[in-house]
Structure 1
């Protein structure tokens, strides 16, 4: 027993959060031989859905996510107050809408199969410290309070970055998106087409969306940027549904069956994602694409990287807590993920920051530049795959894009 009456357990790695980043980290670390425990504060994995689930098929394939867990999308509809553009990949799906609950539970079973201990309805209420280093966590669980001493804590708690904030590694996000979404029955949706809607009637500082899961199931939502707007996304969503703004007018009867509400950081990558005994991943580290505020692919990819690097860092300490999982031993993780996406996230943030301030008339002109883009060009752009070579090629093919301020910002 710990001195405060809580029970005490020893693990190599404690993971805070049972979303895709935490579950991927748990699987990878356990598969590498680490003794892992994961704490999820909700009653079940994916009990509360906080994301619209839009992602990209090539990423899901590379990450080994089975195709039955998502709906493929091959058409992309952009709607502004007085304009609209439809981009089609000719029946070759490039994007997808995930069954979020099933995907997360798939990741949970992989983690359990690898040997990780998963604890639901278990909230991490504090971090343990030995001097300046993080040395474990204290959690409230259905079996009582539990104190876990371990060389490494992985914070995969999402937007809240709760463990990193308790440890003093992270502060509150200054810019972020807040979204409200209904998952709905509808009479008839185009299951191969998702829609993004922009302009003040949809969102004063953001966008709205219709993402299909099948011909009778869609997610209809609104995202709003803070601090640019203090509007309530749920009120805006209700207004869109009541007025049946495009493209809702084509869906027939719409009946909500679930409400999703969530937050996502929108100010780029954290400057620091590792410290002695602590590593942050997923939204907690700012690993999100600002253009469509999606990050599940990053969460899984870098969650696995976190688990692998973390397991090695623990082993390299030779069992000595003071030597294991030092900041230096974890920096491979930070170097790798930042080399992979930090500059892309920064470029996408520049574009997104400009988009937030557009008027309705400017939006009508802005989406016009998408009209002549191929599906491949559009997907590279919207998923924030901003390599210099791709952007130069895009500019050569589309002079109107090259003339736009957003293009020059991306290449800076």
Structure 2
């Protein structure tokens, strides 16, 4: 039966974008009794995002668990994204404490595997209508609020009315633009190129990140024995790099400390670039509108956090607005609460990422924390929690953690200064 609150609407929610954020939000909302139209501009249900780190940080594991996707990911060959990070002080190699719990983990899995899986999962959820080949061409507005979308389809334009329109349509969000939510940009002073390789062994079989100050690189093992290899140098190097893209890309990797044996591996994709990729954020709500995933906040790809943030923001939105959409609360107040939760959960990380995107060497506090993590197991675990987005900047840099880092470095200097016995 149609609820009185939904009279005059085709759906409770229209979501633009059926990739990670949109498909997750559709599933979680429908399970809470919300009627969802999930729009995807592409007509192919197997479509996927190409430009991605293909990594889901550990903060999103509870979302995957709630969605019921963990067994399917494991079956598809997703790789637990344990990691080690190179610094000038040596490798940071987080390990679980003896007799302690295992470290939290997420997954590395190619979007060509992940996107069709999560989209099909949403389409099979009662209450979700997946509408392929539907691209938002405008918003329907009444009395100062959004009450639906105009969608371009192969059969022509149609209007779909809903109490809430959700933009899950990426960093160039049409919903965000039509709703008058401009993006705040932070310049990224690094460029990036990546490619996929088969048969590229990595030490310990885990993800690698190289902090070369200011250049960066990473290697993420994925499903089906495929490794994503990316280099992110300072933009000052771009002109020379472009003169011989393939040669520069391979030479950069060969020069890495403990470099993966790139010459014996098979490259199975083109080298794909992102020359200008600014960090950006938008206010995530307007009357009748909410943004999730990259539509609300796009971070620096070097951190590999976009997929995790997409899933987490989808969960926050579903938890926040579902009661109001099923007649048990006020939608506008729910949107205010979602915006507050989004800001609290992601703005601190975004601030630090924007600062690091200036492509400069570590500042004194970063030198303290990274050097200690390379020398002390407990600090390495602390770094892992931060890198996995399990804790925010305030906990990462709290006085106790800073004091422990200082003590670890002092112990290291004492040990180095002590005469050999």
Q: Distance in 2 between matches of 1:301 and 1:53?
A: 16
1:369 is displaced (CA, Å) by 4.5
Aligned to 1:209: 218
Aligned position for 2:29: 29
Contact 2:149 2:160 in 1 (8 A): yes
CA distance in 2, matches of 1:394, 1:161: 38
Structure 1 runs of 4+ aligned residues shifted over 6 Å read 363-366, 400-403
1:232 and 1:328 map into 2 onto residues whose CA distance is: 50
Match of 2:342 in 1: 337
Structure 1: runs of 5+ lacking an equivalent:
1-8, 319-323, 404-412
2:52 and 2:225 map into 1 onto residues whose CA distance is: 19
1:394 aligned residue (392, 398, 401): 401
Secondary structure at 1:181 match in 2: strand
How many residues get paired?
Answer: 376
What are structure 2's unaligned runs of at least 5 residues?
A: 1-8, 411-421
Determine if contact 2:48/2:115 at 8 Å carries over to the other structure. no
2-structure distance, mates of 1:402, 1:300? 37
1:104-123 alignment runs, 5 A limit: 104-115=115-126, 116-123=128-135
TM-score (norm 2): 0.74
The equivalent residue for 1:221 is 230
Q: Relative to 1, partners in 2 of residues 1:296 and 1:388: Cα closer, same or farther, differing over 3 Å?
A: same
Q: Does the aligned pair in 2 maintain the 1:265–1:286 contact within 8 Å? A: no
Say which SS state the counterpart of residue 395 (structure 1) adopts.
helix
Deviation (angstroms), 1:132: 2.6
Q: CA deviation at 1:396?
A: 2.1
- Find out whether 1:379 has 2:384 as its counterpart: yes
For the 8 Å contact 2:148–2:165, the answer to whether it is kept is: yes
Q: Does 1:175 align with 2:175?
A: no
Q: Matches of 1:224 and 1:283 in 2, distance apart?
A: 23
The question of 1:74 aligning with 2:87 is answered no
**DSSP-derived class of the 2:152 partner:** strand
RMSD over aligned Cα atoms = 3.9
CA distance in 2, matches of 1:230, 1:165: 33
Deviation at 1:186, TM superposition (A): 2.8
Cα deviation 1:156-179 (Å, max 9, x = unaligned): 112112211122122363435764
Q: Counterpart in 2 of 1:358?
A: 361
CA 1:24–1:249: 2 relative to 1, 3 Å? closer
Distance 1:248 1:298 in 2: 30
Question: How much does 1:237 deviate?
Answer: 6.5
TM-score (norm 1): 0.76
Deviations 1:259-302 (A, max 9, x none): 566686625x53x2111110111121116578714122221122
**Correspondence list, 1:7-406, <5 A:** 10-42=10-42, 43-57=44-58, 59-61=60-62, 63-64=64-65, 65-66=69-70, 68=74, 69=76, 70-78=78-86, 84-89=90-95, 94-95=104-105, 96-115=107-126, 116-171=128-183, 173-175=185-187, 179-190=192-203, 192-199=205-212, 207-213=216-222, 216-223=225-232, 231=238, 235=242, 238=246, 239-242=248-251, 244-246=254-256, 247-259=258-270, 266-267=279-280, 269-270=281-282, 272-286=283-297, 288=299, 292-316=303-327, 325=331, 327-350=332-355, 352-353=356-357, 356-358=359-361, 368-374=371-377, 375-384=380-389, 385-386=391-392, 388-391=394-397, 392-399=399-406
Classify 1:304/1:94 alpha carbon distance in 2 versus 1 (closer, same or farther; 3 Å).
closer
8 Å contact kept, 1:291–1:383: no
> Do the aligned partners of 1:73 and 1:192 also contact (CA within 8 Å) in 2?
no
Greater Cα shift, 256-265 or 180-189:
256-265
Measured after TM superposition, the shift of residue 249 of structure 1 is 4.8
**Deviations 1:118-155, CA, capped at 9 Å, x for gaps:** 12333222222224322221222233332212221101
1:290 to 1:108, Cα distance in 2 relative to 1, 3 A: closer
Q: Is this contact kept in 2: 1:84–1:367, CA < 8 A?
A: no
Verify the 8 A CA contact 1:138 1:146 in the aligned structure 2.
yes
